[in-house]
Amino acid sequence: MESKLLQKLKYASQLTAQEKHIVKYILSNPEVVFDSTAHELAQQTYTSSSTIVRLCKKLGTKGYPDFQLKLALEYQQIPSALQTQDHAIAEQGNVLAAIDSVPYLYQQALDDTRRMLNAPVLLRIASWVKESVRIDVYGSDMNYYLAQQACAKWNELGISAIAHNSPNMHYLNTMNPNSLTLSFVISHTGENQSMIEAAKVLSNKQMKVIAVTGNNHSTLSRHCDETLLAYGYNEQLRLSKMSSMVSVLYIFDMLYMSSISDTY
Protein backbone atom coordinates (compact mmCIF):
# COMPACT_ATOMS: atom_id res chain seq x y z
CA MET A 1 0.00 0.00 0.00
CA GLU A 2 1.29 3.47 -0.89
CA SER A 3 2.57 5.54 2.00
CA LYS A 4 -0.01 8.09 3.06
CA LEU A 5 0.80 11.67 2.13
CA LEU A 6 -0.22 13.08 5.47
CA GLN A 7 2.20 10.73 7.19
CA LYS A 8 4.92 11.67 4.72
CA LEU A 9 4.30 15.32 5.48
CA LYS A 10 4.48 14.77 9.24
CA TYR A 11 7.62 12.66 9.21
CA ALA A 12 9.46 14.05 6.18
CA SER A 13 13.19 14.46 6.68
CA GLN A 14 16.01 16.25 4.87
CA LEU A 15 13.84 19.24 4.04
CA THR A 16 15.05 22.79 3.60
CA ALA A 17 13.87 25.52 5.97
CA GLN A 18 11.42 26.77 3.32
CA GLU A 19 10.05 23.27 2.72
CA LYS A 20 9.58 22.73 6.46
CA HIS A 21 7.64 25.98 6.62
CA ILE A 22 5.38 24.84 3.77
CA VAL A 23 4.79 21.46 5.45
CA LYS A 24 3.86 23.16 8.73
CA TYR A 25 1.47 25.45 6.87
CA ILE A 26 -0.24 22.57 5.05
CA LEU A 27 -0.55 20.42 8.18
CA SER A 28 -2.23 23.29 10.02
CA ASN A 29 -4.93 23.34 7.33
CA PRO A 30 -4.69 20.61 4.65
CA GLU A 31 -7.74 21.93 2.82
CA VAL A 32 -5.77 24.98 1.70
CA VAL A 33 -4.12 22.70 -0.89
CA PHE A 34 -7.47 21.98 -2.55
CA ASP A 35 -8.31 25.67 -3.00
CA SER A 36 -4.91 27.01 -4.07
CA THR A 37 -2.71 26.80 -7.12
CA ALA A 38 1.01 26.27 -6.63
CA HIS A 39 1.52 30.01 -7.20
CA GLU A 40 -1.15 30.92 -4.64
CA LEU A 41 0.25 28.50 -2.05
CA ALA A 42 3.70 29.95 -2.65
CA GLN A 43 2.35 33.45 -1.97
CA GLN A 44 0.64 32.30 1.22
CA THR A 45 3.84 30.67 2.50
CA TYR A 46 6.19 33.41 1.25
CA THR A 47 8.06 30.88 -0.88
CA SER A 48 8.16 30.16 -4.62
CA SER A 49 6.22 27.90 -6.98
CA SER A 50 9.40 25.98 -7.76
CA THR A 51 9.88 25.26 -4.04
CA ILE A 52 6.30 23.96 -3.82
CA VAL A 53 6.84 21.67 -6.81
CA ARG A 54 10.20 20.45 -5.48
CA LEU A 55 8.58 19.55 -2.14
CA CYS A 56 5.79 17.65 -3.91
CA LYS A 57 8.36 15.57 -5.79
CA LYS A 58 10.28 14.87 -2.58
CA LEU A 59 7.04 13.46 -1.19
CA GLY A 60 6.80 11.00 -4.06
CA THR A 61 4.29 12.77 -6.32
CA LYS A 62 4.85 13.93 -9.90
CA GLY A 63 4.15 17.58 -9.14
CA TYR A 64 1.65 19.89 -7.50
CA PRO A 65 -1.50 18.74 -9.39
CA ASP A 66 -0.67 15.10 -8.58
CA PHE A 67 -0.04 16.09 -4.95
CA GLN A 68 -3.43 17.85 -4.81
CA LEU A 69 -5.26 14.84 -6.23
CA LYS A 70 -3.60 12.25 -3.98
CA LEU A 71 -4.03 14.36 -0.87
CA ALA A 72 -7.70 14.93 -1.70
CA LEU A 73 -8.35 11.21 -2.22
CA GLU A 74 -6.66 10.39 1.08
CA TYR A 75 -8.17 13.25 3.05
CA GLN A 76 -11.76 12.34 2.21
CA GLN A 77 -11.22 8.88 3.76
CA ILE A 78 -10.08 10.29 7.10
CA PRO A 79 -12.71 10.52 9.86
CA SER A 80 -13.63 14.14 10.53
CA ALA A 81 -12.31 13.80 14.08
CA LEU A 82 -8.81 13.42 12.64
CA GLN A 83 -8.91 16.20 10.07
CA THR A 84 -7.47 18.76 12.48
CA GLN A 85 -3.87 19.34 13.44
CA ASP A 86 -2.52 16.78 15.94
CA HIS A 87 -5.93 15.07 15.96
CA ALA A 88 -7.19 17.83 18.30
CA ILE A 89 -10.83 16.77 18.46
CA ALA A 90 -10.00 13.14 19.28
CA GLU A 91 -7.60 14.26 21.99
CA GLN A 92 -10.15 16.44 23.77
CA GLY A 93 -11.97 13.47 25.24
CA ASN A 94 -14.67 13.22 22.60
CA VAL A 95 -15.64 9.57 23.00
CA LEU A 96 -18.05 9.66 20.05
CA ALA A 97 -15.31 10.97 17.78
CA ALA A 98 -13.12 8.10 19.00
CA ILE A 99 -15.60 5.59 17.54
CA ASP A 100 -14.25 6.50 14.10
CA SER A 101 -10.82 7.86 14.92
CA VAL A 102 -9.46 4.88 16.90
CA PRO A 103 -10.09 2.27 14.15
CA TYR A 104 -8.58 4.70 11.64
CA LEU A 105 -5.44 5.09 13.76
CA TYR A 106 -5.17 1.31 14.16
CA GLN A 107 -5.59 0.67 10.44
CA GLN A 108 -3.12 3.40 9.55
CA ALA A 109 -0.50 1.86 11.86
CA LEU A 110 -1.12 -1.63 10.49
CA ASP A 111 -0.95 -0.48 6.86
CA ASP A 112 2.29 1.42 7.37
CA THR A 113 3.88 -1.45 9.30
CA ARG A 114 2.88 -3.93 6.61
CA ARG A 115 4.32 -1.66 3.93
CA MET A 116 7.68 -1.56 5.74
CA LEU A 117 7.91 -5.32 6.22
CA ASN A 118 10.78 -7.13 4.56
CA ALA A 119 9.44 -10.62 3.77
CA PRO A 120 12.83 -12.44 3.64
CA VAL A 121 13.82 -10.89 6.98
CA LEU A 122 10.49 -11.84 8.56
CA LEU A 123 10.81 -15.43 7.30
CA ARG A 124 14.36 -15.65 8.63
CA ILE A 125 13.31 -14.42 12.07
CA ALA A 126 10.33 -16.79 12.14
CA SER A 127 12.79 -19.62 11.46
CA TRP A 128 14.97 -18.45 14.35
CA VAL A 129 11.93 -18.47 16.63
CA LYS A 130 11.27 -22.10 15.70
CA GLU A 131 14.88 -23.08 16.36
CA SER A 132 15.20 -21.27 19.68
CA VAL A 133 14.94 -22.92 23.09
CA ARG A 134 14.15 -19.65 24.83
CA ILE A 135 12.99 -16.18 23.77
CA ASP A 136 13.91 -13.00 25.65
CA VAL A 137 12.10 -9.73 24.91
CA TYR A 138 13.56 -6.48 26.26
CA GLY A 139 11.61 -3.23 26.56
CA SER A 140 11.40 -0.35 29.00
CA ASP A 141 8.35 1.62 30.15
CA MET A 142 5.43 1.09 27.75
CA ASN A 143 7.49 -1.34 25.68
CA TYR A 144 7.87 -3.65 28.67
CA TYR A 145 4.12 -4.28 28.69
CA LEU A 146 4.24 -5.05 24.97
CA ALA A 147 7.09 -7.48 25.70
CA GLN A 148 4.97 -9.13 28.41
CA GLN A 149 2.05 -9.61 26.01
CA ALA A 150 4.28 -11.15 23.37
CA CYS A 151 5.86 -13.53 25.88
CA ALA A 152 2.51 -14.53 27.40
CA LYS A 153 1.29 -15.72 23.99
CA TRP A 154 4.41 -17.77 23.34
CA ASN A 155 4.23 -19.26 26.84
CA GLU A 156 0.69 -20.46 26.08
CA LEU A 157 2.20 -22.52 23.26
CA GLY A 158 4.77 -24.04 25.58
CA ILE A 159 7.57 -21.84 24.22
CA SER A 160 9.73 -20.41 27.00
CA ALA A 161 9.64 -16.60 26.70
CA ILE A 162 10.62 -14.00 29.29
CA ALA A 163 10.04 -10.23 29.26
CA HIS A 164 12.71 -7.92 30.71
CA ASN A 165 12.09 -4.28 31.63
CA SER A 166 15.81 -3.55 31.95
CA PRO A 167 19.03 -5.38 31.12
CA ASN A 168 20.15 -7.70 33.93
CA MET A 169 23.90 -7.51 33.40
CA HIS A 170 24.60 -10.54 35.58
CA TYR A 171 22.17 -12.61 33.50
CA LEU A 172 23.52 -11.24 30.22
CA ASN A 173 27.16 -11.75 31.11
CA THR A 174 26.64 -15.33 32.31
CA MET A 175 24.57 -16.46 29.33
CA ASN A 176 25.90 -19.44 27.42
CA PRO A 177 26.40 -18.41 23.78
CA ASN A 178 25.26 -21.90 22.77
CA SER A 179 21.98 -21.70 24.70
CA LEU A 180 19.86 -21.08 21.56
CA THR A 181 18.28 -18.01 23.14
CA LEU A 182 16.72 -15.55 20.71
CA SER A 183 16.45 -11.93 21.89
CA PHE A 184 14.17 -9.10 20.77
CA VAL A 185 14.93 -5.54 21.86
CA ILE A 186 12.15 -2.93 21.57
CA SER A 187 12.91 0.79 21.30
CA HIS A 188 10.76 3.11 19.19
CA THR A 189 13.62 5.53 18.54
CA GLY A 190 16.37 2.91 18.64
CA GLU A 191 18.37 5.21 20.92
CA ASN A 192 17.36 3.97 24.40
CA GLN A 193 20.73 3.52 26.10
CA SER A 194 19.78 0.57 28.33
CA MET A 195 18.33 -1.31 25.35
CA ILE A 196 21.43 -0.54 23.28
CA GLU A 197 23.63 -1.87 26.09
CA ALA A 198 21.65 -5.13 26.22
CA ALA A 199 21.99 -5.54 22.45
CA LYS A 200 25.74 -4.88 22.63
CA VAL A 201 26.34 -7.57 25.26
CA LEU A 202 24.22 -10.11 23.40
CA SER A 203 25.86 -9.31 20.08
CA ASN A 204 29.34 -9.66 21.58
CA LYS A 205 28.35 -13.16 22.71
CA GLN A 206 27.37 -14.00 19.12
CA MET A 207 23.71 -14.35 20.15
CA LYS A 208 20.95 -13.61 17.64
CA VAL A 209 19.38 -10.23 18.42
CA ILE A 210 16.48 -8.52 16.65
CA ALA A 211 15.69 -4.82 16.95
CA VAL A 212 12.03 -3.76 16.93
CA THR A 213 12.22 -0.05 16.23
CA GLY A 214 10.93 2.77 14.09
CA ASN A 215 14.42 3.73 12.93
CA ASN A 216 16.32 1.40 10.63
CA HIS A 217 19.48 3.50 10.94
CA SER A 218 19.47 3.72 14.74
CA THR A 219 22.27 2.78 17.11
CA LEU A 220 20.20 -0.19 18.27
CA SER A 221 19.84 -1.54 14.73
CA ARG A 222 23.60 -1.41 14.23
CA HIS A 223 24.09 -3.80 17.15
CA CYS A 224 21.41 -6.30 16.04
CA ASP A 225 21.37 -9.07 13.45
CA GLU A 226 18.06 -7.95 11.97
CA THR A 227 15.58 -5.10 12.34
CA LEU A 228 11.80 -5.23 12.24
CA LEU A 229 10.48 -1.76 11.50
CA ALA A 230 7.56 -0.54 13.59
CA TYR A 231 5.43 2.55 13.08
CA GLY A 232 7.56 5.60 13.94
CA TYR A 233 6.82 7.32 17.23
CA ASN A 234 6.67 11.12 17.29
CA GLU A 235 6.73 12.75 20.74
CA GLN A 236 4.90 15.80 19.38
CA LEU A 237 1.90 13.69 18.38
CA ARG A 238 0.45 12.12 21.50
CA LEU A 239 -1.75 9.68 19.64
CA SER A 240 1.26 8.27 17.80
CA LYS A 241 2.06 6.35 20.99
CA MET A 242 -1.14 4.35 20.46
CA SER A 243 -0.20 3.67 16.84
CA SER A 244 3.30 2.57 17.84
CA MET A 245 1.88 0.06 20.32
CA VAL A 246 -0.46 -1.42 17.71
CA SER A 247 2.43 -1.70 15.27
CA VAL A 248 4.70 -3.57 17.71
CA LEU A 249 1.89 -5.96 18.72
CA TYR A 250 1.20 -6.65 15.04
CA ILE A 251 4.85 -7.61 14.49
CA PHE A 252 4.92 -10.01 17.43
CA ASP A 253 1.51 -11.47 16.55
CA MET A 254 2.77 -12.38 13.08
CA LEU A 255 5.63 -14.33 14.67
CA TYR A 256 3.18 -15.84 17.16
CA MET A 257 0.94 -17.04 14.32
CA SER A 258 3.96 -18.67 12.71
CA SER A 259 4.64 -20.46 16.00
CA ILE A 260 1.05 -21.70 16.22
CA SER A 261 1.33 -23.49 12.87
CA ASP A 262 4.29 -25.47 14.21
CA THR A 263 2.79 -26.25 17.60
CA TYR A 264 -0.61 -27.60 16.55
HSE (side-chain half, CA atoms, 13 Å) at 236? 5
pLDDT of residue 236: 44
pLDDT of residue 92: 52
Spatial separation of the C-alpha atoms in residues 90 and 99, rounded to whole Å: 10
pLDDT of residue 3: 43
Spatial separation of the C-alpha atoms in residues 216 and 246, rounded to whole Å: 18
Higher-confidence position of 206 and 94: 206
Higher-confidence position of 5 and 154: 154
- Quick count: other Cβ atoms within 10 Å of Cβ 153? 19
pLDDT of residue 97: 67
pLDDT per position as a tens digit, 209-252: 999 999 888 999 999 999 999 987 555 455 677 888 999 999 99
- The mean per-residue pLDDT over the stretch 165-188 comes to 88
DSSP line for 27-69: HH-GGGGTT--HHHHHHHTTS-HHHHHHHHHHTT-SSHHHHHH
pLDDT per position as a tens digit, 141-162: 989 999 999 999 999 999 999 9
Which has the closest alpha carbon to 159: 192, 191, 126, 188? 126
Cα-based distances in Å from 240 to 27, 74, 81, 86, 99: 16, 19, 15, 10, 17
- CATH 3.20.20.120 for domain 5-114, yes or no, is no
Domain residue ranges in the chain: 5-114, 118-263
Q: What are phi and psi of 159, to 5 degrees?
A: -95, 125
CATH of 118-263, one of 3.30.470.20, 2.30.110.10, 3.40.50.10490, 3.60.60.10: 3.40.50.10490
Q: Is residue 15 predicted with pLDDT exceeding 50?
A: yes
Rg (CA), the chain: 21
pLDDT per position as a tens digit, 42-61: 999 999 999 999 999 998 88
Higher-confidence position of 118 and 264: 118
